[in-house]
Structure 1
């Protein structure tokens, strides 16, 4: 979602713990961050191998985050839903998909929404001062923790994990979303791809200097964020060739058409 569709300003540089703004210790694997989440999410339970989404108990900042993000979306779309809370947010996301003349327009609009959540100077300073540290690992670890801290209201239960980086090392710059609420509620591969995955990857790389690969799983609705890892070219990204979700309102009709025409890709992706 806009997740990444969806990321709120990290703490200002002056308020970060001292180790985050000083050059990192060469032994970066021992470098630890502490995160206190705004939401309280009980551990999810698996059913038939698929993690059931757990409803997070909203924290004191969750309503603030949701309302801020929704206002930015409404400003871009020029329309608001009459529904309150998260249901209304999903309707605005659907309208964002319909507003653009094509998927590229939708992705560009989603990037503008993400940029509007941050003061411009903060993005520039982060890219200039933080992104180069330790070959980008410090910045990747920081944004992973800010994502886990501020975005559970949007995505559901998530946790920090380790990912393999292109240089052959590993780093705790991953965020694993157990069952994405945004994907499940939107019921649409196209909304996931065009308002969340692709614009969020673009935003972090172009405006924060942090490569990001997002790997949504359209079978169990989990999603793996890999900060510090470049995404593949569009023609090599399997997520862009996904069929409609089983829960998509028009999925049955589209699957029947796909069987006849051998077109498996979701038409909105």
Structure 2
């Protein structure tokens, strides 16, 4: 999906994170502010290019093939419809497994195997983590919206530019669903990078401001608080459940 340009290992592992778009200087300052100051109603605008439409159509076609159905809606709205169908017709585990298959289908199998064998072991995995962070930020804005590469604190106490901060995830904002975020994005993406590329990944979506922090090189915790999130107030799938709910426990998203 994106071309990797070989760079010196020392340069990749120790350089400061750079901004991916012209507007990211402003976004970098915003990301340093308290998330409580971000208006959850306003949106960060990202203007898709020609390649973005290519990636969107490819991803949507792969998802539709897995589901066996496609929406009549065009573009991104149709993608969200298919993602919703992917989730509601399956158990959480089945949804995650299906999403992993979709991600795998986007790459030549040999490419994944070579990356896992050649790059993943280098420098205790740090090179691979930095590389996939860069490619993710460059090639996935069509799906998530504007994002930047940033530093991640590793368990050994070092810092690495292997993070991707999504200022406002379009996929979460458009789906308005914790279950879709968790089962068609967070969990399968974490599993895909670890099992098929050899790169640990922790994704930390924020359901208050729709931001998301990718941390390549960090393994997910056993007790992930994201899986205990309640349904969003605006979730279209939760309207009937909210009407029938009698306590807060019942409002935990059943698809998370």
Normalising by structure 2, we get a TM-score of 0.88
Matched, 1:204 2:189: no
Cα deviations by residue, 1:160-202 (Å, 9 ceiling, x for unpaired): 1101111111100000011111011111100000000000000
Cα deviations by residue, 1:83-118 (Å, 9 ceiling, x for unpaired): 110000000001101232x11000000000000000
RMSD of aligned alpha carbons: 2.6
Secondary structure at the counterpart of residue 58 of structure 2: helix
Q: Mark the CA change 1:199 to 1:220 in structure 2 (over 3 Å): closer, same or farther.
A: same
Matched, 1:88 2:78: yes
Contact 1:40/1:57 (<8 A) preserved: no
Unaligned runs of 5+ in 1: 1-8
Equivalence for 1:64: 54
Equivalence for 2:5: 17
Secondary structure at the counterpart of residue 255 of structure 2: coil
Q: Mark the CA change 1:259 to 1:165 in structure 2 (over 3 Å): closer, same or farther.
A: farther
Give, in angstroms, the shift of residue 262 of structure 1: 3.2
Equivalence for 1:49: 38
Cα deviations by residue, 1:112-140 (Å, 9 ceiling, x for unpaired): 00000000000000001111111111111
Q: Mark the CA change 1:258 to 1:166 in structure 2 (over 3 Å): closer, same or farther.
A: farther
Between the aligned partners of 1:268 and 1:27, the Cα distance in structure 2 is: 38
Q: Mark the CA change 1:42 to 1:79 in structure 2 (over 3 Å): closer, same or farther.
A: farther
Higher helix share: 2
Contact 2:2/2:138 (<8 A) preserved: no
Q: Mark the CA change 1:25 to 1:62 in structure 2 (over 3 Å): closer, same or farther.
A: same
Unaligned runs of 5+ in 2: none
Q: 1:242 aligns with which of 218, 229, 232?
A: 229
The total of aligned residue pairs comes to 249
Contact 2:12/2:130 (<8 A) preserved: no
TM alignment of 1:128-143, pairs within 5 A: 128-143=117-132
Q: Mark the CA change 1:62 to 1:41 in structure 2 (over 3 Å): closer, same or farther.
A: farther
Equivalence for 2:179: 190
